[in-house]
Chain A
């Protein structure tokens, strides 16, 4: 059995807006969600800006979870999933009674919890660890939180393949529905801003000061970000049967690994991943109308990504990076990319690459959709996600027929 798989609900919980209305409007207007860090004391850092979801109140979204028992990242995932179900117009009781599950990607899981425990062990020794916090450590809890919040009895799988993880999770969910294993999936990713990653990116020389400027001349790195990005997936037949609005179709995806370097991207391997994704989706490069870039804003990533694009595409389509607005939301990044791709198809626009100052003469010629969203009819969109460990994941979306 092979079923077509469609997206009927979107749940963004982000620094530029919560819910599709706010999030979509922010993408169109190029609003950035970067602000001074509040989730940890960043005063000792030369750089102190990030894309935090300011004033995130999980109780506004979750109805079942007790927020005191779950880490911030799990609450992002569960809140985003709740929003996606509402957006899909899916009856929650019917969903809970169905063959339904979740697959959630992440880079750092509940690393905020590990940071708190580390502080506790420094203050009071290891005997001072709070058992209630220890229980919140497993990254598996991200998907568990989704299933618990929505009462789902199908599998709850957390995929921790770093910054490409949401695309892994979307691909896996697509397979499970396509093959008939499950009927509904909540798929996407979640991550939280954390001190140790902020420090690590700074020391790698990959953290910029205030504005992330992907593909631009003089770009100097990422800003860390956070949030939850979850999509509601079902079979085409199911969506038609229940009269749901079909937002987009998942056509296929590709995964590969550089097997070369832990942090330096490899453009040949990325190009190969693009070809794999096209082949699995049954399209050719010429069919792609827009590429939602990984586009971190580091000199190395954007260069490797642009070189891969010109290698694979005879005439590269527009390619923009929403990280210019959100910062790098890590494991949620390609989930937000997926939501932006779908909104671009349903609302007829391409999100801009903000903070773009001038074309980088060292990059091959690409169209980064600089600083202003563009009206466009998008039929097929490619969503890029690359990660530490050389893990590449690309998902292809098609406009709802």
Chain B
């Protein structure tokens, strides 16, 4: 390893994915390059859907994964997040026990929580005989931090419990929030990720925003949870990690009038991240964008990637595999990079850039150096 490299922001010691095609990190890694087809969703809900296919978990029953206890009243977002946390915890060698659970927490990214839960709750106030005839047990689901709070209860994690509303940037925002908390010593490990659920409300909302000329990937859903830990502690105890997040930078284009303006703000984030890590652009193996095809020309992320990186730098676009997964999209991008490292030993130590942006001009980039587990997999 290059001795001049600054200490990473955080280390990832395990991760979990729940997607339309995969349960767990190894499973997800196995789907790389398969070009997953969206699945038929005709009767998933009692309400009509705008599209026939989506990248979703058609027969997702939380009890299949989580058992009966504590699952009766949780919503889809919460269930996906819980399974994501469970998978991440089974992929790491971090042991959570009574000694450390007050220093282990959750940081989850979202757009607006479970929009279906909120909207359905709102609907009850309009359609019931009396507007207050809502179910009080479902009330916490309608609040945006419901999923993170439920994950803390299920896994007894008493450390920092935060929900960051970053929309399509949420996976990167969550990493930055977690990195800060770890570096400041507020926590020793944080289950960090993002969740997005499929619902009639979100499907129709996305349909309403679809632009002419775009060929957006089908709507997606899922959860990605990374076990983020303080790098120095991980190293001091002789443990290995799947990746080091070297830097996470966020920015904003307050004018937000042109794709080139947003791309320039994003490029500044990428360069700042590289500078902090003491790396140059030509040391980058891959750049992963949040492109969904919704923007006919590829949008600001493609522009930024092309401004910064030679065509020989590998382009990754996880939407081809998991669809337009909104709040989970940037976290899925991280998972895709980690999946490459799990399956391809030649990539050991290579660096990737993950970019994301929102429609309002918020931008962000994460710099990730991945490692191959190889023969040192703690589970072997």
Interface residues of A (CB under 8 A from B): 44-46, 96, 101, 106-111, 114-115, 117-119, 121-122, 126-127, 129-131, 134-135, 137-142, 144, 147-148, 150-162, 168, 172, 175-176, 179, 194-197, 199-205, 255-263, 269, 272, 280, 387-391
Cβ–Cβ contact B208 & A134, under 8 A: yes
5 more contacts with CB within 8 A, not counting A156-B252, A204-B139, are A154-B252, A162-B163, A195-B125, A196-B125, A203-B139
The answer to whether B158 touches A160 (Cβ under 8 A) is no
Name which residue of chain B comes closest to A174, CB basis.
Answer: B184
User: Which B residues are in CB contact (< 8 Å) with A256?
Assistant: 102, 158-161
Q: B340 to nearest A CB, angstroms?
A: 28
Question: Which one of B132, B152, B358 has the greatest number of beta carbons of chain A within 10 Å?
Answer: B132
Query: B149 to A144, Cβ gap below 8 A?
Result: no
- Chain B residues with Cβ below 8 Å from A389 are 140, 143, 145-146, 148-150, 152, 161
Closest residue on chain B to residue A254 by CB atoms: B186
The segment from B87-95, B165-173, B285-293, B296-304 found at the interface with A is: B165-173
Complex CA gap A135/B209 in Å reads 8
CB-nearest residue of chain A to B205: A134
Query: Which chain A residues lie closer than 8 Å to B167 at the CB level?
Result: 138-140
For the complex, give the distance between the alpha carbons of A159 and B170 in Å. 11
Query: Which residues 236-263 in B have Cβ within 8 Å of A in the complex?
Result: 250-254, 256
Contacts of B165 in A (CB 8 A): 106, 109, 138-140, 142, 158-160
Q: Which of A139, A201, A260 contacts B112 (CB 8 A)?
A: A139
Given contacts A118-B126, A138-B358, contact A200 B252 (CB under 8 A): no
Q: Given the complex of chains A and B, what is the CA–CA distance between A160 and B154 in angstroms?
A: 20
27 A/B residue pairs, CB under 8 Å, sorted by A: A117-B205, A118-B119, A118-B123, A121-B204, A126-B200, A139-B111, A144-B358, A152-B252, A154-B250, A157-B176, A159-B163, A160-B110, A160-B163, A172-B180, A175-B180, A179-B180, A196-B118, A197-B142, A199-B131, A255-B161, A255-B186, A256-B161, A262-B140, A262-B153, A263-B140, A389-B148, A389-B152
Contacting residue for B166 out of A126, A157, A196, A280, CB 8 A: A157
Q: How far is the CB of A129 from chain B (nearest CB, A)?
A: 5
A196 CA to B127 CA, complexed, in Å: 12
Chain B: minimal CB distance from A3 (Å) = 13
Within 8 Å CB of B204, what residues of A? 121, 126-127, 129
A109 touches B144 (CB 8 A): yes
CA distance A203 to B134 in the complex (A): 7
Q: How far is the CA of A158 from the CA of B169 in the complex (A)?
A: 11
Is B50's CB under 8 angstroms from A126's CB? yes
> Which of B22-30, B61-69, B343-351, B359-367 is found at the contact surface with chain A?
B359-367
Q: Kindly list the 8 A-B residue pairs having the minimum CB-CB distance in the complex, ordered from nearest.
A: A389-B149, A155-B250, A139-B165, A257-B161, A126-B204, A200-B139, A160-B144, A203-B136
Knowing A114-B118, A154-B252, A196-B125 are in contact, say whether A140-B132 is a contact too (CB < 8 A): no
* Cα–Cα, bound, A385→B36 (Å): 45
- Tell me if B162 counts as interface (CB < 8 A to partner A): yes
Residues of chain B within 8 A (CB-CB) of A121 are 119, 201, 204
B306 contacts A by Cβ under 8 Å: no
> Is B228 located at the chain interface by the 8 A CB criterion?
no
Known: A155-B251, A159-B163. A135 touches B359 (CB 8 A): yes
- The complex places the Cα of A195 from the Cα of B112 at a distance, in Å, of 17
| Closest Cβ neighbor of B164 among chain A residues | A159
| B121: interface (CB < 8 Å) | yes
Distance between Cα atoms of A106 and B162 in the complex (Å): 12
- Report Cα–Cα, A148/B102, bound state, in Å: 38
**Cβ–Cβ contact B144 & A119, under 8 A:** no
Known contacts A106-B165, A144-B361, A261-B153; A153/B111 CB under 8 A: no
Residues of chain B within 8 A of A127, CB atoms compared: 204
| With contact pairs A137-B205, A269-B158 given, residues A111 and B118 touching in the complex (Cβ less than 8 Å) | yes
Residues of B within 8 A of A (CB): 47-48, 50, 101-102, 105-106, 110-113, 115, 118-119, 121-127, 130-136, 139-140, 142-146, 148-150, 152-153, 155-167, 169-170, 173, 176-177, 180, 183-184, 186, 200-201, 204-205, 208-209, 250-254, 256, 265, 358-362, 364
Min C-beta distance of A187 to chain B, whole Å: 14
Q: Which residues of A contact B110 (CB under 8 A)?
A: 139, 160
Establish whether residues B360 and A152, one from each chain, have CB atoms under 8 Å apart when the complex forms.
no
Residue A168 contacts which of B124, B131, B162 (CB distance < 8 angstroms)? B162
Write out the residue numbers on chain A whose beta carbons fall within 8 Å of the beta carbon of B250: 101, 154-157
CB of A204 within 8 A of CB of B254, answer no
Name the distance in Å between B33's Cβ and chain A's nearest Cβ: 32
Q: Contact: B153 with A157, CB < 8 Å? A: no
Contact assessment for B158 and A162 in the assembled complex, using a CB-CB cutoff below 8 Å: no
Q: How far is the CA of A391 from the CA of B164 in the complex (A)?
A: 13
**Given the complex, which residues of A lie within 8 Å of B142, measured CB to CB?**
196-197, 200
User: How near does chain A come to B27, taking the closest CB pair, in angstroms?
Assistant: 28
Q: Kindly list chain A residues whose C-beta atoms are within 8 Å of the C-beta of B130.
A: 44
CB distance from B41 to the nearest CB of A (A): 14
What residues of B have a CB within 8 angstroms of the CB of A202 in the complex?
132
Q: Is the CB of B163 within 8 A of A257?
A: no
Q: Is the CB of B131 within 8 A of A195?
A: yes
Quick one: given A131-B209, A203-B136, A257-B152, are A148 and B254 in contact (CB under 8 Å)?
yes
A328 nearest CB across to chain B (Å): 13
CB distance from A374 to the nearest CB of B (A): 34
B125 near A259: Cβ-Cβ < 8 Å: no
Identify B360's interface contact among A46, A110, A144, A155, CB under 8 A. A144
Q: Are B166 and A140 in contact (CB under 8 A)?
A: yes
Report the minimal beta-carbon distance from B8 to chain A, rounded to whole angstroms.
16
Q: Check B122–A115 contact: CB distance below 8 A.
A: yes
- Shortest beta-carbon distance, A185 to chain B, in Å? 13
Q: Shortest distance in angstroms between B357's beta carbon and chain A's nearest beta carbon?
A: 11
* Contact in complex: A157, B173 (CB < 8 Å): yes
Chain A residues with CB below 8 A from B155, complex form: 259
A153 to B362, CA, bound (A): 9
Cβ–Cβ contact A176 & B158, under 8 A: no
Would you call B127 and A122 a contact (CB within 8 A)?
yes
- Given A154-B251, A155-B250, A204-B136, residue A107 in contact with residue B144 (CB < 8 A): yes
- Which of B149, B173, B208 is in CB contact (< 8 Å) with A391? B149
CB of A272, distance to nearest CB on chain B (Å): 7
A45 pairs with B131, CB closer than 8 A: yes
CB neighbours of B170 from chain A (8 A): 140
Q: A158-B164, A161-B163, A196-B118 in contact; A388/B132 too (CB < 8 A)?
A: no
Please determine whether A148 and B360 come into contact, CB atoms closer than 8 angstroms: yes
Residue of A nearest to B364 (CB): A155
Name the contact of A172 in the complex, choosing from B145, B177, B201, B209 (C-beta under 8 A): B177
A138–B209 Cα distance when bound, in Å, is 13
A388 neighbours in B (Cβ, 8 Å): 140, 143, 145-146, 149
Q: How many angstroms from the CA of A44 to the CA of B106 in the assembled complex?
A: 39
Whole-angstrom distance between the Cβ of B133 and the nearest chain A Cβ: 8
Nearest CB in chain B: distance from A251 CB, A: 14
Q: Which residue of B lies closest to A205 (CB)?
A: B136
Q: Which residues of chain A have C-beta atoms less than 8 A from B359's C-beta?
A: 135
